[in-house]
Amino acid sequence: MAGQGARLRVVQGDLRLGAAMAPNASAPTDVPDRVSPHRIRLVDAALDCIARQGTAKTTVDDVAHGAGVSRATVYRVFPGGKDELLGAVAETEMARLFSALGARMGAAEELSDVLVIGIVEAVTRITRHPALTYMIAHEPDVVLGRLAFDESNRLLATASRFISPFLIRWMDPEEAARVAEWATRIVLSYCIAPTSEMDLTDPARARHLVGTFVLPGIRALRAPDRSQPVDLVPIAADRAKHAGRVHQVDYLQTYPTTTTHSEGDVQ
Protein backbone atom coordinates (compact mmCIF):
# COMPACT_ATOMS: atom_id res chain seq x y z
CA MET A 1 0.00 0.00 0.00
CA ALA A 2 2.76 2.44 0.99
CA GLY A 3 4.65 1.75 -2.23
CA GLN A 4 1.55 2.31 -4.32
CA GLY A 5 0.84 5.57 -2.53
CA ALA A 6 4.40 6.80 -3.13
CA ARG A 7 4.16 5.92 -6.80
CA LEU A 8 0.91 7.83 -7.18
CA ARG A 9 2.43 10.86 -5.49
CA VAL A 10 5.29 10.76 -7.98
CA VAL A 11 2.78 10.82 -10.82
CA GLN A 12 1.12 13.80 -9.17
CA GLY A 13 4.48 15.56 -8.94
CA ASP A 14 5.17 14.95 -12.62
CA LEU A 15 1.85 16.51 -13.54
CA ARG A 16 2.57 19.61 -11.50
CA LEU A 17 6.01 19.89 -13.04
CA GLY A 18 4.52 19.59 -16.51
CA ALA A 19 1.97 22.27 -15.77
CA ALA A 20 4.64 24.63 -14.47
CA MET A 21 6.75 24.16 -17.60
CA ALA A 22 3.88 24.76 -19.99
CA PRO A 23 1.40 27.03 -18.18
CA ASN A 24 -0.56 27.86 -21.30
CA ALA A 25 -1.25 24.21 -22.01
CA SER A 26 -2.62 23.44 -18.54
CA ALA A 27 -5.40 20.92 -18.10
CA PRO A 28 -8.96 22.31 -18.03
CA THR A 29 -9.22 22.24 -14.24
CA ASP A 30 -12.75 23.65 -14.13
CA VAL A 31 -14.14 20.51 -15.75
CA PRO A 32 -15.20 17.84 -13.21
CA ASP A 33 -12.48 15.25 -13.43
CA ARG A 34 -14.24 11.88 -13.83
CA VAL A 35 -11.14 9.97 -14.84
CA SER A 36 -8.76 11.48 -12.34
CA PRO A 37 -6.30 8.96 -10.89
CA HIS A 38 -7.41 10.38 -7.54
CA ARG A 39 -11.06 9.53 -8.02
CA ILE A 40 -10.88 5.85 -7.08
CA ARG A 41 -8.38 6.53 -4.26
CA LEU A 42 -10.77 9.09 -2.79
CA VAL A 43 -13.68 6.69 -3.09
CA ASP A 44 -11.69 3.96 -1.32
CA ALA A 45 -10.53 6.38 1.38
CA ALA A 46 -14.15 7.43 1.91
CA LEU A 47 -15.17 3.75 2.19
CA ASP A 48 -12.53 3.26 4.93
CA CYS A 49 -13.85 6.31 6.80
CA ILE A 50 -17.48 5.19 6.50
CA ALA A 51 -16.63 1.68 7.71
CA ARG A 52 -15.07 3.28 10.85
CA GLN A 53 -17.39 6.20 11.62
CA GLY A 54 -20.33 6.31 9.18
CA THR A 55 -21.31 8.93 6.62
CA ALA A 56 -22.51 11.64 9.04
CA LYS A 57 -19.16 12.00 10.84
CA THR A 58 -16.98 11.61 7.76
CA THR A 59 -15.63 14.94 6.53
CA VAL A 60 -13.84 15.97 3.34
CA ASP A 61 -10.73 16.47 5.52
CA ASP A 62 -10.92 12.87 6.78
CA VAL A 63 -11.09 11.55 3.23
CA ALA A 64 -8.31 13.84 2.00
CA HIS A 65 -6.12 12.72 4.90
CA GLY A 66 -6.93 9.04 4.30
CA ALA A 67 -6.09 9.34 0.61
CA GLY A 68 -2.94 11.39 1.27
CA VAL A 69 -4.10 14.36 -0.81
CA SER A 70 -5.09 17.94 -0.05
CA ARG A 71 -8.61 19.24 0.54
CA ALA A 72 -8.22 21.21 -2.68
CA THR A 73 -7.62 18.00 -4.60
CA VAL A 74 -10.83 16.48 -3.22
CA TYR A 75 -12.79 19.55 -4.36
CA ARG A 76 -11.08 19.50 -7.76
CA VAL A 77 -12.23 15.90 -8.34
CA PHE A 78 -15.59 16.39 -6.61
CA PRO A 79 -16.63 20.07 -6.95
CA GLY A 80 -19.85 19.22 -5.10
CA GLY A 81 -17.83 18.21 -2.04
CA LYS A 82 -18.99 15.55 0.39
CA ASP A 83 -22.39 14.94 -1.26
CA GLU A 84 -20.83 14.33 -4.66
CA LEU A 85 -18.13 12.14 -3.10
CA LEU A 86 -20.77 10.01 -1.34
CA GLY A 87 -22.67 9.74 -4.62
CA ALA A 88 -19.49 8.50 -6.31
CA VAL A 89 -18.99 5.97 -3.48
CA ALA A 90 -22.49 4.54 -4.00
CA GLU A 91 -22.04 4.48 -7.79
CA THR A 92 -18.63 2.81 -7.56
CA GLU A 93 -19.76 0.15 -5.09
CA MET A 94 -22.81 -0.63 -7.22
CA ALA A 95 -20.58 -0.99 -10.30
CA ARG A 96 -18.18 -3.23 -8.37
CA LEU A 97 -21.06 -5.42 -7.19
CA PHE A 98 -22.50 -5.75 -10.69
CA SER A 99 -19.08 -6.39 -12.15
CA ALA A 100 -18.40 -9.21 -9.67
CA LEU A 101 -21.89 -10.62 -10.29
CA GLY A 102 -21.33 -10.47 -14.03
CA ALA A 103 -18.05 -12.35 -13.78
CA ARG A 104 -19.56 -15.13 -11.67
CA MET A 105 -22.94 -15.48 -13.38
CA GLY A 106 -21.45 -15.25 -16.87
CA ALA A 107 -19.25 -18.27 -16.16
CA ALA A 108 -22.18 -20.51 -15.14
CA GLU A 109 -23.48 -23.14 -17.57
CA GLU A 110 -26.86 -24.03 -16.02
CA LEU A 111 -29.80 -21.78 -15.21
CA SER A 112 -29.85 -23.03 -11.62
CA ASP A 113 -26.14 -22.19 -11.30
CA VAL A 114 -26.65 -18.67 -12.66
CA LEU A 115 -29.32 -18.06 -10.02
CA VAL A 116 -27.50 -19.75 -7.12
CA ILE A 117 -24.15 -18.12 -7.87
CA GLY A 118 -25.75 -14.72 -8.40
CA ILE A 119 -27.73 -14.88 -5.15
CA VAL A 120 -24.77 -16.13 -3.06
CA GLU A 121 -22.39 -13.56 -4.55
CA ALA A 122 -24.82 -10.67 -4.06
CA VAL A 123 -25.90 -11.58 -0.52
CA THR A 124 -22.29 -12.26 0.55
CA ARG A 125 -20.95 -9.00 -0.86
CA ILE A 126 -23.80 -6.91 0.51
CA THR A 127 -23.95 -8.40 4.01
CA ARG A 128 -20.16 -8.43 4.47
CA HIS A 129 -19.54 -4.97 3.02
CA PRO A 130 -17.70 -3.10 5.82
CA ALA A 131 -19.06 0.40 5.10
CA LEU A 132 -22.60 -0.85 4.51
CA THR A 133 -22.46 -2.97 7.67
CA TYR A 134 -21.48 0.07 9.74
CA MET A 135 -24.25 2.16 8.21
CA ILE A 136 -26.95 -0.47 8.78
CA ALA A 137 -25.88 -0.74 12.43
CA HIS A 138 -25.49 2.98 13.16
CA GLU A 139 -27.31 5.03 10.52
CA PRO A 140 -30.00 2.68 9.20
CA ASP A 141 -32.15 5.56 7.92
CA VAL A 142 -29.48 6.44 5.33
CA VAL A 143 -29.49 2.91 3.89
CA LEU A 144 -33.18 2.11 4.26
CA GLY A 145 -34.23 5.24 2.38
CA ARG A 146 -32.72 3.59 -0.69
CA LEU A 147 -34.53 0.30 -0.18
CA ALA A 148 -38.16 1.25 0.44
CA PHE A 149 -41.15 2.12 -1.72
CA ASP A 150 -40.25 4.31 -4.75
CA GLU A 151 -36.48 4.11 -4.21
CA SER A 152 -36.78 0.35 -4.09
CA ASN A 153 -38.68 0.37 -7.40
CA ARG A 154 -35.76 2.23 -8.99
CA LEU A 155 -33.25 -0.21 -7.52
CA LEU A 156 -35.32 -3.19 -8.73
CA ALA A 157 -35.41 -1.73 -12.26
CA THR A 158 -31.66 -1.09 -12.34
CA ALA A 159 -30.74 -4.52 -11.01
CA SER A 160 -33.23 -6.26 -13.30
CA ARG A 161 -31.85 -4.54 -16.40
CA PHE A 162 -28.41 -5.77 -15.43
CA ILE A 163 -29.36 -9.34 -14.52
CA SER A 164 -31.83 -10.26 -17.27
CA PRO A 165 -29.19 -10.59 -20.05
CA PHE A 166 -27.70 -13.46 -18.05
CA LEU A 167 -31.03 -15.29 -18.17
CA ILE A 168 -32.07 -14.96 -21.82
CA ARG A 169 -30.23 -18.12 -22.81
CA TRP A 170 -33.07 -19.96 -21.07
CA MET A 171 -36.14 -17.76 -21.60
CA ASP A 172 -37.50 -14.89 -23.63
CA PRO A 173 -36.56 -11.32 -22.64
CA GLU A 174 -39.90 -10.62 -20.98
CA GLU A 175 -39.61 -13.72 -18.79
CA ALA A 176 -35.97 -12.88 -18.08
CA ALA A 177 -36.89 -9.39 -16.88
CA ARG A 178 -39.56 -10.88 -14.63
CA VAL A 179 -37.24 -13.51 -13.12
CA ALA A 180 -34.42 -10.97 -12.72
CA GLU A 181 -36.66 -8.70 -10.68
CA TRP A 182 -37.87 -11.63 -8.61
CA ALA A 183 -34.30 -12.75 -7.82
CA THR A 184 -33.42 -9.16 -6.86
CA ARG A 185 -36.32 -9.12 -4.40
CA ILE A 186 -35.09 -12.38 -2.86
CA VAL A 187 -31.58 -10.97 -2.42
CA LEU A 188 -32.87 -7.71 -0.88
CA SER A 189 -35.25 -9.46 1.49
CA TYR A 190 -32.62 -11.81 2.91
CA CYS A 191 -30.03 -9.00 3.11
CA ILE A 192 -32.36 -6.66 5.01
CA ALA A 193 -33.77 -9.37 7.27
CA PRO A 194 -31.39 -12.35 7.42
CA THR A 195 -32.39 -15.52 9.22
CA SER A 196 -30.17 -18.30 10.50
CA GLU A 197 -32.52 -20.88 8.90
CA MET A 198 -31.89 -19.53 5.40
CA ASP A 199 -28.35 -18.17 5.26
CA LEU A 200 -27.98 -17.32 1.57
CA THR A 201 -24.22 -16.82 1.85
CA ASP A 202 -24.21 -20.64 2.08
CA PRO A 203 -24.35 -22.07 -1.49
CA ALA A 204 -26.15 -25.21 -0.26
CA ARG A 205 -28.96 -23.15 1.27
CA ALA A 206 -29.18 -20.92 -1.79
CA ARG A 207 -29.38 -24.02 -4.01
CA HIS A 208 -32.16 -25.37 -1.81
CA LEU A 209 -34.10 -22.10 -2.05
CA VAL A 210 -33.65 -21.83 -5.83
CA GLY A 211 -34.55 -25.48 -6.39
CA THR A 212 -37.59 -25.41 -4.11
CA PHE A 213 -39.19 -22.05 -4.87
CA VAL A 214 -37.60 -20.33 -7.87
CA LEU A 215 -37.17 -22.98 -10.59
CA PRO A 216 -40.76 -24.29 -10.21
CA GLY A 217 -41.94 -20.68 -10.51
CA ILE A 218 -39.94 -20.23 -13.72
CA ARG A 219 -41.41 -23.46 -15.13
CA ALA A 220 -44.89 -22.23 -14.24
CA LEU A 221 -44.45 -18.92 -16.04
CA ARG A 222 -43.01 -20.70 -19.08
CA ALA A 223 -46.08 -23.01 -19.22
CA PRO A 224 -48.84 -21.36 -17.16
CA ASP A 225 -51.29 -24.27 -17.43
CA ARG A 226 -48.56 -26.76 -16.41
CA SER A 227 -49.98 -29.03 -19.09
CA GLN A 228 -46.53 -30.32 -19.85
CA PRO A 229 -43.23 -30.40 -18.00
CA VAL A 230 -40.81 -27.66 -19.00
CA ASP A 231 -37.12 -28.43 -19.40
CA LEU A 232 -35.02 -25.46 -18.43
CA VAL A 233 -32.40 -25.84 -21.16
CA PRO A 234 -30.85 -23.09 -23.26
CA ILE A 235 -32.92 -21.81 -26.16
CA ALA A 236 -30.51 -22.14 -29.08
CA ALA A 237 -32.69 -20.57 -31.76
CA ASP A 238 -33.58 -17.62 -29.54
CA ARG A 239 -30.02 -17.09 -28.49
CA ALA A 240 -28.92 -15.66 -31.84
CA LYS A 241 -32.06 -13.54 -32.00
CA HIS A 242 -31.29 -11.92 -28.65
CA ALA A 243 -27.55 -11.69 -29.14
CA GLY A 244 -27.82 -7.90 -29.44
CA ARG A 245 -29.09 -7.69 -25.90
CA VAL A 246 -26.25 -9.78 -24.58
CA HIS A 247 -23.81 -7.32 -26.06
CA GLN A 248 -25.17 -4.64 -23.74
CA VAL A 249 -23.02 -6.16 -21.00
CA ASP A 250 -19.97 -6.71 -23.17
CA TYR A 251 -18.16 -3.89 -21.38
CA LEU A 252 -17.78 -6.25 -18.45
CA GLN A 253 -15.95 -8.69 -20.74
CA THR A 254 -17.24 -11.53 -18.64
CA TYR A 255 -20.25 -12.85 -20.47
CA PRO A 256 -19.46 -16.08 -22.32
CA THR A 257 -19.72 -15.86 -26.07
CA THR A 258 -23.15 -16.71 -27.36
CA THR A 259 -21.75 -19.60 -29.35
CA THR A 260 -20.65 -21.59 -26.29
CA HIS A 261 -23.53 -24.02 -26.72
CA SER A 262 -24.08 -25.99 -29.88
CA GLU A 263 -27.46 -27.05 -31.18
CA GLY A 264 -26.83 -30.43 -29.61
CA ASP A 265 -27.41 -28.96 -26.15
CA VAL A 266 -31.10 -28.58 -26.82
CA GLN A 267 -33.29 -31.52 -26.06
Partner 1 sequence: MEDTRQRIIEATYACVARWGVAKTTVEDAAREAAVSRATVYRHFPGGRDELIHDVVVWELFAFFGRLYDEVRGAESLEAVMERGISFAHRSIQEHEVLQRVMQTEPETLLPTITVESNRIRDAIAGFLVPYLHQHGLAPGVDPDEAGDFLARMVLSYMGSPGRWDLDDPAQVSELVRGELLAGVVVGPEPGKRPD
Question: Residue numbers of the site for partner 1 (CB under 8 A)?
Answer: 140-142, 144-145, 148-150, 152-153, 156-157, 160, 177-178, 181-182, 185-186, 188-190, 192-193, 195, 197-198, 209, 212-217, 219-221, 224-226
Q: CB-wise, 67 or 183, nearer to partner 1?
A: 183
Q: CB-wise, 26 or 189, nearer to partner 1?
A: 189
Q: CB-wise, 168 or 177, nearer to partner 1?
A: 177
Q: What is the H or E stretch that residue 58 is in?
A: none
- d(C-alpha 189, C-alpha 25), whole Å: 53
- d(C-alpha 123, C-alpha 187), whole Å: 6
- d(C-alpha 57, C-alpha 72), whole Å: 20
CB of residue 249 to partner 1, shortest distance in Å:
20
Q: CB-wise, 192 or 233, nearer to partner 1?
A: 192
One-letter amino acid for residue 13 of the chain: G
Nearest to 180 by CA among 99, 83, 111, 253: 111
Alpha carbon 209 to chain centroid distance? 22
CB of residue 138 to partner 1, shortest distance in Å:
11
Q: CB-wise, 153 or 248, nearer to partner 1?
A: 153
Within 8 A by CB and 6+ apart from 254, the residues are 99, 102, 103, 106, 107
Q: CB-wise, 104 or 205, nearer to partner 1?
A: 205
CB of residue 86 to partner 1, shortest distance in Å:
15
- d(C-alpha 91, C-alpha 99), whole Å: 12
68 sits in the region (left: phi over 0; alpha: psi -120 to 50; else beta) called left
- d(C-alpha 31, C-alpha 34), whole Å: 9
Q: CB-wise, 73 or 184, nearer to partner 1?
A: 184
CB of residue 182 to partner 1, shortest distance in Å:
5
> Helix, strand, or coil here: 200?
coil
CB of residue 146 to partner 1, shortest distance in Å:
10
Say if residues 143 and 135 touch (Cβ distance below 8 Å): yes
CB of residue 120 to partner 1, shortest distance in Å:
17
CB of residue 55 to partner 1, shortest distance in Å:
12
Q: Computed from CA positions of residues 261, 264, 265, 266, in that sequence, does the dihedral angle turn out positive or negative?
A: positive
